[in-house]
Amino acid sequence: MPDPATLPVLGWREWLVLPDLGITAIRAKVDTGARSSALHVESIETARRDGVEWVRFALGDDCTALRRWVEAPVLDRRWVTDSGGHRTERVFIRTTLRLAGADWPIDMNLSRRTRMLFPMLLGRTAMAGRFLVDPSRSFALGEPRADQDRPAVA
């Protein structure tokens, strides 16, 4: 386990990158109370290809031309209890997270987060042993660079 004094500090919200999905900047709520990470998707479809389940999902707003479709193999289906106590089965994918100059794989569920303020929730399993969280700070790692393309889900 790394020395906590050397760990980078996150605020309660941060900008993240999901390079495998083509997302160069997305606002995420950092939530140590949530076990899993979640990404807002507008639509979701699953299908089998050569015996492997794949998911096709739409990123972006239903009412804009920025909507785009992404595909990934399904990692798992798991039951998730949301903050309101509702249990639903969700599709999980494995994707790369880039944060604080490092890349690593995370498991993330896909769900409609329409009523949420943030299109992504960064859960504790994606952060474990890598960061400290200071809930009094916001965007502790800074804003995304101006030269980055901003995706529809930012």
The rounded distance, in Å, linking the Cα atoms of 31 and 121 is 7
**What is the per-residue pLDDT for 152?**
38
The rounded distance, in Å, linking the Cα atoms of 29 and 110 is 15
Structural domain including 30 reads 4-133
129 in a structural domain = yes
Provide the domain count of the chain: 1
pLDDT tens-digit map of 40-90:
998 899 999 999 999 999 987 544 445 688 999 999 999 998 878 889 999
CATH of the domain at 9: 2.40.70.10
- Judged against a pLDDT cut of 70, whether residue 33 lies above it is answered with yes
150 in a structural domain = no
**What is the per-residue pLDDT for 146?**
56
Secondary structure of 6-74 in the HEC alphabet? HCCEECCEEEEEEHHHCEEEEEEEEECCCCCEEEECCEEEEEEECCEEEEEEEECCCCCCCCEEEEEEC
CA distances from 36 to 47, 103, 115, 122, 140 (A): 24, 18, 18, 7, 21
151 in a structural domain = no
pLDDT tens-digit map of 92-116:
999 999 999 999 999 999 998 777 7
